[in-house]
């Protein structure tokens, strides 16, 4: 557990709603907050957490306690490394707000549409991490602000080169709408809602 430093992009006490996932049309986002989020300026302040040793530049994104509480045993492996400011999923799901827009329950939609893939990508990163990959991910994160299509193309090429499972590669292309999926470590026959 640690406190993450972020620029405020939402109204005061936005977290009192107990909604952790933020859609693009979330009324809690301020006008200035929309610009902060669009250009990922709220992530820059996390460099303080990197300097303090709470975070790494690259690694699975940190989660709020309520999110960690529902992790499967396999997903708990994400907690074995320092969380990062960026990772594969930061590029692939940089449009998370748009994905969750118009969803009645953004947290549930996140858990069904995004969380399974973020977790799979985070676990894949843990199994393949090295300094060269970290440098590439940092570079692609910067590129994604200018051209997400270019960044995605590079990420997909790298995933293929690293022999990522075909389902991860397919989702990472972001050519199709996301459909509800199971998080890693949950058997297809188990109930997940």
Q: For residue range 20-65, list pLDDT tens digits in order.
A: 666 556 667 777 777 777 777 778 889 999 999 999 999 999 998 9
E-state strands within the chain: 56-58, 84-86
Provide the domain count of the chain.
1
Q: Provide the residue range defining the domain that includes 31.
A: 14-173
Does residue 125 fall inside a structural domain?
Answer: yes
Percent of the chain with pLDDT over 70: 86
Residue 189 pLDDT more than 60? no
The answer to the question of residue 186 being in a domain is: no
Q: Is 184 among the domain residues?
A: no
Contact criterion met (CB below 8 Å) for 145 and 91: no
Domain assignment present for 192: no
Q: What is the DSSP letter of 188?
A: T
* pLDDT of res. 128: 98
> With the CA atoms of 126, 59, 93 and 132 taken in that order, what torsion angle do they form, in degrees rounded to the nearest 10?
-80
Instruction: Report DSSP state, residue 110.
Output: I
Q: Give me the mean pLDDT over the 133-162 stretch.
A: 97
In a domain, 4, yes or no: no
Rounded percentage of the chain residues whose pLDDT exceeds 90: 63
Please name the residues in contact with 177: beta carbons below 8 A apart, sequence gap of 6 or more. none
Q: Which pLDDT value is given to residue 102?
A: 85
Q: Which residues contact 12 (CB under 8 A, 6 or more apart)?
A: none
Separation between Cα atoms, residue 176 and residue 66, nearest integer Å? 29
Mean pLDDT of the 146-166 span: 97
- Rounded average pLDDT over 115-124: 98
Answer yes or no: is 68 within a domain: yes
């Amino acid at each position: 557990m640690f406190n993450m430093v972020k620029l405020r992009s939402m109204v005061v006490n936005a977290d009192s709603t107990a909604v952790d996932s933020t859609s693009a049309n979330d009324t809690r986002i301020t006008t200035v907050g929309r610009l902060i989020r669009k250009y990922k300026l709220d992530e820059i302040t996390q460099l303080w957490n990197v300097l303090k040793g709470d975070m790494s530049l690259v690694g699975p994104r940190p989660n709020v306690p309520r999110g960690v509480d529902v992790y499967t045993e396999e997903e708990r492996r994400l907690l074995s490394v320092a969380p990062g400011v960026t990772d594969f999923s930061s590029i692939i799901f940089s449009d998370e707000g748009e994905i969750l827009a118009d969803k009645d329950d953004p947290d549930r939609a996140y858990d069904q549409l995004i969380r399974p893939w973020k977790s799979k990508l985070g676990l894949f990163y843990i199994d393949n991490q090295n300094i060269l990959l970290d440098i590439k991910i940092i570079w692609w994160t910067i590129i994604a602000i200018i051209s997400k299509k270019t960044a995605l193309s590079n990420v997909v090429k790298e995933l293929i080169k690293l022999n990522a499972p075909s389902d991860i590669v397919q989702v990472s292309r972001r050519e199709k709408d996301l459909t509800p999926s199971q998080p890693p470590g949950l058997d297809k026959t188990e109930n997940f809602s």
